[in-house]
Amino acid sequence: MKTQLLLVALLAATPLLRSPSTPAPFQSPTEVRDELAAVGAQWDAARTSFDVAAFERMLAPDFWVQIGSEKIPRAQFIDMISKSRPEARLARFESRILTLTREKDVWAAVVLEKLEAEVKGADGKTCKNYSLWVTRDRFRKDAQGWTCLSSEALGSESWSGGQVPPFDDWSS
């Protein structure tokens, strides 16, 4: 259970930059994908470095995360992902946009997230825990840049105790 809570706390949702105001001019899906990939790289770095200032900047004021039936508000989510834990280190947070859909002035991205945590056991030995998440993240762009409006967990799976993810491309 503790490992599950840790992995949920490590979840992110591939969120990213400033508050909404005026709608952005039309952009092609290719342009949006490229921009959101860059924002995603910033989010990934912020997650592994616990950069609270980046979280504050990248998430909309009314941002929320949905995991199952639980809706987590922005402040609680930032609190969950901004605490470093002595028994665990988030060694990897890597996201990639799978699909992108425009919904008026909002872009919805289905995102694949790969997480790796190094966890110290009671015996003092460190082992790796792996987690794969698929999320649906909603973004809006304004004059200041991209803001993440919400993130919904569509599915996840975790591996620990010496198990590794059964994917050929996990290391890439």
pLDDT at 169: 86
Which domains can be identified in the chain, with CATH numbers? 2-18+28-159 (3.10.450.50)
pLDDT averaged per 10 residues in sequence order, the chain, 172 residues: 41 41 68 96 96 97 97 97 89 96 96 95 89 98 95 97 89 67
Tokens of 63: 């941002």
Q: β-strands 59-67, 145-159: how paired?
A: parallel
pLDDT at 25: 58
Distances (CA, A) of 76 to 55, 135, 145: 12, 18, 24
Sign of the C-alpha dihedral, residues 37, 55, 66, 85?
positive
User: What's CA 127's distance to the chain center, in Å?
Assistant: 22
Distance CA 77, CA 128 (A): 23
pLDDT at 40: 96
pLDDT at 21: 43
pTM of the model: 0.81
